[in-house]
Chains A and B, each alone.
Chain A
Amino acid sequence: MSEDAVREDAGVVSDDLRREIEAFYRTEILLLQGHRYRQWLELMDESIKYRVPVTTSTVNGLVAADDALGYYDEDLELLKARVAKLESKQSWVEQPTSRLRYFIQLLDLVHQPDGTIAASSNLLLYQHRWNLDQSFTGERNDVLMPIPGGFRLRSRLVVLDRQAFTEQGLSVFF
């Protein structure tokens, strides 16, 4: 067994693969910041599960239950429905459109037995809208599926650090 294979067995991702995954996120961030949501959908696997659950405050801190209500709780069909809504000229919450700045950090990558890659990271998102400024932070857990020439997003779970959103109208993707 080669040394590389040993590393892969342990789940560690090679530097080349890390660069490819970082390139994937670079692409995604540019699409999100540019509100190019139709193209952003092309990064999704057909079986995408995209979840941003509500959290409950317990004596042990914020907890996001598996069956919790979502701020986002989508499959591909529902994500497409959201994008169709945002594309409407009558989507008031994004008129005028927000300025968005995404920061993805501490990217931790682990090979999964099924050939996918678990990618967890810290998310910081700053939004400026005509009537508010707000920022979001949270923990993002992705599963990426390698395809020829890149990746598809198989699942995303974002647990936000804030329980009650300040200000109305959540119109950003995480």
Chain B
Amino acid sequence: MGERAKHAELAGLQPPPVPPDARIGSFRSGELVNADASAVDRRLFVDEELYRLEQERIFAKCWLFVGHESQLEANGSFLTTTMAEDPVLVVRDKAGKLRGYLNSCTHRGTKICRADSGRSSTFKCPYHGWTFNSEGALMSVPRLGQVYGENFDRSKHSLREVAKIDSIHGLIFATWDPAAPTLREYLGEMTFYLDLMLARMEGGTELLGGLHKWTIGVNWKIPAENFAGDHYHVPVTHGAGVEMGYRSQLSNDGYCIHTGNGHSIGSERGGAQQGHAVQTEYKGFMDNMRAQLVAKYGEKAAAFVPVGVGTIFPNLSFMDTARFRTFRVWHPRGVDKIEIHSCLIVDRALPEDLKREVRKRYSLAFGPSGIFEQDDGDVWQSIQDSMRGRIGRQGWLNYEMGVGREGPTVDRYGPPFVGSTSDILMTEANQRAYYRQWAKLMTEGDR
């Protein structure tokens, strides 16, 4: 393949180059992200105007993760979470359909549901008593005829409903944008890797044991880009986890794949968290799944069990490792703060006692007290601290690692492995794809 043809093929695998002169609010795009996103301005992480524009152009447009179907098995069950800063109520209605609403009374805005989860066919506002059903309809208004008269139209005051809601392998996503593509179109080729990760065993997956919730004083993009492809930090930030044997020393053998729309995934060979300490039977299960994939797609497919660590744009990240699989959302709570909701997703068909052991290995390593994640949080908060000031917000962060080393994944691993990959694990190709997607969405509003 000639250089030009190769270039064209790669161009189709990633978001477009960042134009120098498009507008992002009062900014020129080129002063925030350079053409190939190998340099990103520090203001992306601290500027209030950019944060407000992100709410409009990213979070109100993209598909966002809101929960797992196993949390809503029965008709009439509900959970509450947020889509960016907006509180939402996600229900399985009386007919069994998934629906999502702004958790806010249409009368005066009060939250109509205060619990994390439960079962209820109605939601009564604690302020004036307007009551909604799981279909979002306003069912009753106290003293309706007496205080509003005969002509009050309840049907105009249904809960604000998400534009679209859909699920894939149990993961529920929703979007506020009626013009959004379908969920599968939005996920694009990432769907293939989600299939690999979440349909390994018959019977589907389940969310086990609730959520870890905690906050970090950091901009939401820092953890999202970390999971997108920052393998370079592992030997340093997580040196302690290597020393005590939870994970082996990171090699540079592996892939960093991005699949368009800013989604990406990466893994060292054999998966993260290979180590001799506190082992479980999960390893045998993964070895078995790997053998099945090799039988289907050939020897090179061995690299794809587990599938790895990644981010689904904008703020859902996951880690499918040699020991467990976690999904987490980095909910923005202002430009300099996130609330993390992290969960463990296991294959239902795993034996119950193994599920318990996997649960313990996950919380040992990840979540706020995890011996890996506790060090990430500390590092990330210090990034935010150091970029807050007048001088700290000036200049560029560097994302040049691995520039020019990308090619189609299929060239390296054969079919059906999609997306763009590099010939080394430690590259910032995925972060560049992430910020190119960021710039694409952020410039769209000002065209």
Measuring CB to CB, which residues of chain A are less than 8 angstroms from any residue of chain B? 52, 54, 56-59, 65, 67-75, 77-78, 81-82, 84-86, 88-93, 131-132, 163-171
Complex contacts, A68 vs chain B, CB 8 Å: 209-210
Complex contacts, B373 vs chain A, CB 8 Å: 169
* Bound-state Cα–Cα, A78 to B378, Å: 22
Residue with the greatest number of chain A CB neighbours at <10 A, chosen from B114, B216, B363: B363
Contact B240–A88 (Cβ < 8 Å): yes
A170 to chain B, nearest CB (A): 4
> Is B118 in the interface zone, CB < 8 Å from A?
yes
Complex contacts, B369 vs chain A, CB 8 Å: 52, 71-72, 170-171
Interface members, chain B 208-231 (any A CB < 8 Å): 208-218
Q: Of the candidates A54, A90, A170, which one forms a contact with B243 in the assembled complex, judged by CB atoms under 8 Å apart?
A: A90
* Bound-state Cα–Cα, A59 to B237, Å: 40
* Bound-state Cα–Cα, A163 to B245, Å: 31
Measuring CB to CB, which residues of chain B are less than 8 angstroms from any residue of chain A? 114-118, 208-218, 236-241, 243-246, 277-278, 339, 343-344, 356, 359-360, 362-364, 367-369, 371, 373-382, 385
Contact A74–B360 (Cβ < 8 Å): yes
Q: Of the candidates B209, B215, B241, B278, which one forms a contact with A164 in the assembled complex, judged by CB atoms under 8 Å apart?
A: B215
A125 to chain B, nearest CB (A): 13
Q: Of the candidates B116, B243, B364, B380, which one forms a contact with A57 in the assembled complex, judged by CB atoms under 8 Å apart?
A: B116
Contact A69–B359 (Cβ < 8 Å): yes
Complex contacts, A74 vs chain B, CB 8 Å: 360, 364
Residue with the greatest number of chain B CB neighbours at <10 A, chosen from A56, A74, A82: A56
* Bound-state Cα–Cα, A70 to B382, Å: 26
Q: Of the candidates A67, A70, A71, A85, which one forms a contact with B371 in the assembled complex, judged by CB atoms under 8 Å apart?
A: A85
Q: Of the candidates B115, B117, B240, B339, which one forms a contact with A85 in the assembled complex, judged by CB atoms under 8 Å apart?
A: B240
Query: Given A72-B369, A77-B278, A81-B277, A171 and B374 touching (CB < 8 A)?
Result: yes
Contact B364–A78 (Cβ < 8 Å): yes
A46 to chain B, nearest CB (A): 16
Contact B278–A168 (Cβ < 8 Å): no
Contact B246–A81 (Cβ < 8 Å): yes
B164 to chain A, nearest CB (A): 28
Q: Of the candidates A70, A91, A167, which one forms a contact with B216 in the assembled complex, judged by CB atoms under 8 Å apart?
A: A167
Query: Given A131-B378, A169-B377, A81 and B209 touching (CB < 8 A)?
Result: no
Q: Name A166's closest neighbour in chain B (CB-CB).
A: B215
Contact A57–B115 (Cβ < 8 Å): yes
Contact A169–B215 (Cβ < 8 Å): no
* Bound-state Cα–Cα, A77 to B217, Å: 32
Complex contacts, A52 vs chain B, CB 8 Å: 369
Contact A54–B278 (Cβ < 8 Å): no
B115 to chain A, nearest CB (A): 5
Pick 30 A–B contacts, CB within 8 A, sort by A: A54-B209, A57-B114, A58-B115, A59-B118, A67-B208, A67-B356, A69-B210, A70-B209, A71-B212, A71-B363, A73-B364, A74-B360, A75-B360, A81-B364, A85-B241, A85-B243, A85-B371, A89-B240, A91-B375, A92-B237, A132-B381, A163-B213, A164-B215, A166-B214, A166-B215, A167-B214, A167-B381, A168-B215, A170-B369, A170-B374
Contact A73–B243 (Cβ < 8 Å): no
Other A-B pairs beyond A72-B369, A164-B215, A168-B380, 8, CB < 8 Å: A56-B116, A57-B116, A58-B117, A68-B210, A69-B363, A81-B371, A90-B236, A90-B240
Query: Given A58-B118, A167-B217, A69 and B211 touching (CB < 8 A)?
Result: yes
B250 to chain A, nearest CB (A): 14
* Bound-state Cα–Cα, A131 to B238, Å: 19
Contact B375–A164 (Cβ < 8 Å): no
Contact A72–B363 (Cβ < 8 Å): yes
Complex contacts, B344 vs chain A, CB 8 Å: 69
* Bound-state Cα–Cα, A2 to B117, Å: 53
B223 to chain A, nearest CB (A): 10
Complex contacts, B117 vs chain A, CB 8 Å: 56, 58
* Bound-state Cα–Cα, A78 to B115, Å: 32
Residue with the greatest number of chain A CB neighbours at <10 A, chosen from B214, B243, B373, B378: B378
* Bound-state Cα–Cα, A168 to B385, Å: 13
Contact B216–A54 (Cβ < 8 Å): no
Contact B368–A73 (Cβ < 8 Å): no
Complex contacts, B364 vs chain A, CB 8 Å: 73-74, 78, 81-82
* Bound-state Cα–Cα, A146 to B376, Å: 40
Contact A88–B381 (Cβ < 8 Å): no
B47 to chain A, nearest CB (A): 22
Q: Name B362's closest neighbour in chain A (CB-CB).
A: A69
Contact B375–A70 (Cβ < 8 Å): no
Complex contacts, A59 vs chain B, CB 8 Å: 114-115, 118
Contact B278–A165 (Cβ < 8 Å): no
* Bound-state Cα–Cα, A123 to B238, Å: 31
Complex contacts, A86 vs chain B, CB 8 Å: 240
A102 to chain B, nearest CB (A): 17
* Bound-state Cα–Cα, A167 to B333, Å: 13
* Bound-state Cα–Cα, A56 to B208, Å: 13
* Bound-state Cα–Cα, A78 to B371, Å: 11
Q: Name A64's closest neighbour in chain B (CB-CB).
A: B210
